[in-house]
Structure 1
Amino acid sequence: MKRGHATAKVLRTLKVHESTYYGRKKREASHTEERASCGLKGRPVPGFSSTNTGRKVADEQIKEWMLELLEGEEHVYGYKNLALCLRRQRGLILNKKKAYRICKELGILQKQRKKTSKHPRRVPRNRTVTGVNQLWQIDIKYGYVIGRQRFFFVLSIIDVFDRVVVGQYRGPVCEAKHVVQTLCRALQERLNPGDNLPTIRTDNGPQFVSKLFGDTCESLEIVRERIPPRSPNMNAYIESFHSLLERDLFSLTEFMTFEEAYEALDRYMDFYNNRRMHGSLKSMSPFQFSKWVMTLEDRSKYHRAV
């Protein structure tokens, strides 16, 4: 059509209905007008970068890596050298312009780093989990909607003892407020009045180091632990669940829309909690194991050292 061919003829050849073609053009024009009315210029931010091998990495994951660098000896670097570290360590294709934007969003440009956190990191301690609702691990995983070329976020909360995913959020963005809402909902649904509150363990993602999340845990009197950088083994149970999610669902399915991805995830979660067998749970599902183990007088065989 750009070469002068009649639109109707091209659409007939491609077997595309005119209503489909013009409907899409109308939606694209509307989206452009919305961006212009909001003062947004140029193409929209894609929300990801790529590695040298072609793997897409969500901006939220890049932010987490940036914060991990600042927890270590790389805290002396500015945004240019932080980007260089990620290129060398992660194979990430990241230019200085995008590195500056990400650091600015995080509030970690060098002149702004003097501010100390109101909620300093509490390092996880070794413990033995002897029952449910003693230790919950939280993490975020990224899915991809190929039809929109956008990531979506899956926030999951797992009980270390019985492997039940007690709370989950999925959406096109995942901010501290979504973490707080999901945690509060899980506490309401999982605990009875008078029950002790679980310890919460997370990594160093921006949602988990935020003031809102820290203030919420403090107001609820929840003990909150953050694992050291580059130590995913300290959050092994949630990491294991997200590996299952990748293997069982994300790696096998190409999602064309967000709605399609969310529906598939909801079906999988019903399967996981209620019917999926686990070798470490005597080949029961998490809910089945949780009910069964509470009937035992001696549960010491199923204590978890973490």
Structure 2
Amino acid sequence: MRDAELIAALAKLVEARPSRGFWKCCDQLRKKRPDWNPKRIYRVYKAMRLNLRRAAKRRLPKRERVALYVPKLPDTVWSVDFMSDALACGRRFRTFNMVDDFNREALHIEVDTSINSSRLVRVFEQLKRDHGLPKVVRSDNGPEFLGEVFTQWAKANGVALQYIQPGKPNQNAFIERFNRTFREEVLDQHLFVCLEDVREAAHWWMIDYNEERPHDALNGMTPAEYRNTFAGSSTFEVSA
């Protein structure tokens, strides 16, 4: 095939640099193969349908402002968010944090270098088995929360997804306050060598946060004590 080499070169270039248009591709190819004239390159470029407009980034749907409120029962609204930090070696990691808005209980802190929509589903499935699920999950508009895997899982499990308005973290104030405390008391206090160190520190800190640390917003009670005032609606169990 006469144009096989040109097709292969174009395909490789476009795959590596999808945002480059025809003339950038043409100039780059002709540096190595000046015998390929622009008309020939453009003919092949069109035949490969590379001249078609690529899909633009999907715009976020308009988010309505929803007033922040304290639920009257546990497991009504859970707020979730991500944080990031680095190990001593400089390797970045993320944490996925989750709290119950009712009593500010820390429900879960997932730690890893990468956490996508599928990973979120596994986290929620674990909580579903051990704890139950909320009626609503409140989050920002991060791609993990917008991914089809996660949104379809939420729909199948009867969990409503409530997205805050872009650039309005105050609309998710409970998890933002939790993140600040977690950073001050854990992430900023230790130089972690590996992910297991982060996970262990987060585990023991969550127990202290839920069972020992009094909260001004809970009239000086711990999240566990506050939840147990509604024991009939609670699935919370203190640690052994």
Q: Same fold (TM over 0.5)?
A: yes
**Distance of 1:160 and 1:250 partners within structure 2:** 22
Unaligned residue ranges in structure 1 (runs of 5+): 1-77, 80-109, 297-306
State the TM-score, normalized to the length of structure 1. Answer: 0.54
**Distance of 2:63 and 2:159 partners within structure 1:** 12
**Distance of 2:185 and 2:214 partners within structure 1:** 13
Matched pairs, number: 181
CA contact 2:81–2:98 (8 Å) conserved in 1: yes
**1:175-208 CA distances to partner (integer Å, 9 max, x unpaired)?**
11111111222233223xxxx8421111011101
**Distance of 1:178 and 1:200 partners within structure 2:** 16
User: What percent identity do the matched residue pairs reach?
Assistant: 22
Map of 2:42 onto structure 1: none
Instruction: Please show how residues 100-249 of structure 1 align to structure 2 within 5 Å.
Output: 111-113=54-56, 123=64, 125-126=66-67, 129-146=71-88, 148-191=89-132, 197-249=134-186
Structure with greater Cα Rg? 2
**Distance of 1:251 and 1:114 partners within structure 2:** 36
Aligned to 1:273, which of 199, 205, 210? 210
CA contact 1:122–1:224 (8 Å) conserved in 2: no
**Distance of 1:121 and 1:234 partners within structure 2:** 15
> CA RMSD for the aligned pairs?
2.6
User: Which secondary structure does the structure 1 equivalent of 2:141 belong to?
Assistant: coil
CA contact 1:160–1:237 (8 Å) conserved in 2: yes
CA contact 2:94–2:113 (8 Å) conserved in 1: yes
User: Which secondary structure does the structure 2 equivalent of 1:289 belong to?
Assistant: helix
User: Which secondary structure does the structure 1 equivalent of 2:54 belong to?
Assistant: helix
Could you say if the C-alpha distance between residues 134 and 124 of structure 1 is closer, same or farther in structure 2, counting changes exceeding 3 Å?
Answer: farther
**Distance of 1:155 and 1:253 partners within structure 2:** 18
Instruction: Please show how residues 17-166 of structure 1 align to structure 2 within 5 Å.
Output: 111-113=54-56, 123=64, 125-126=66-67, 129-146=71-88, 148-166=89-107
